[in-house]
Amino acid sequence: GEDVEQSLFLSVREGDSSVINCTYTDSSSTYLYWYKQEPGAGLQLLTYIFSNMDMKQDQRLTVLLNKKDKHLSLRIADTQTGDSAIYFCAEVPGNTGKLIFGQGTTLQVKP
């Protein structure tokens, strides 16, 4: 089946690290994605990871993938107030081209 689950809310202090977790169900997903949505805006691709990788680092972002448990996480180092947004993880089952999104995690960054 196709299902992606995320926690709904995370609050951190500015300068701390944020970790957003996600579980997915479709083992045929070759790529897994993290998108960011700011108020009134569309979706912006933050980063992605190929399914045969365990980790990917991109500046302040670190993606960890546990393929056995179908668990994906996004770590944001030195979180800033500008990082406040909704973060979605998404999978693309097989070669369908359709993104299956989680419910989104609202990240609140307190100064």
Partner 1 sequence: KAGVTQTPRYLIKTRGQQVTLSCSPISGHRSVSWYQQTPGQGLQFLFEYFSETQRNKGNFPGRFSGRQFSNSRSEMNVSTLELGDSALYLCASSLRVAGVGYNEQFFGPGTRLTVL
- CB of residue 14 vs partner 1: minimum separation in angstroms? 27
Q: Does 102 bind partner 1 (CB under 8 A)?
A: yes
Q: Which residues contact 79 (CB under 8 A, 6 or more apart)?
A: 12, 13, 14, 15, 16, 17, 18, 107, 109
Out of 43, 53, 61, 64, the only residue in the binding site for partner 1 (CB under 8 A) is 43
Cβ contact 93:4 at 8 Å = no
d(CA 23, CA 12) in angstroms, rounded, equals: 21
Write the binding mask 44 to 83 for partner 1: x where contact by CB under 8 A, - elsewhere. Answer: xx--x-x---------------------------------
d(CA 34, CA 101) in angstroms, rounded, equals: 9
**DSSP assignment, residue 16?**
S
- Give the nearer residue to partner 1 in terms of CB position, either 41 or 59: 41
Out of 1, 39, 42, 82, the only residue in the binding site for partner 1 (CB under 8 A) is 42
- Which residues contact partner 1 (rule: CB under 8 A)? 30-31, 35, 41-45, 48, 50, 88, 92, 95-104
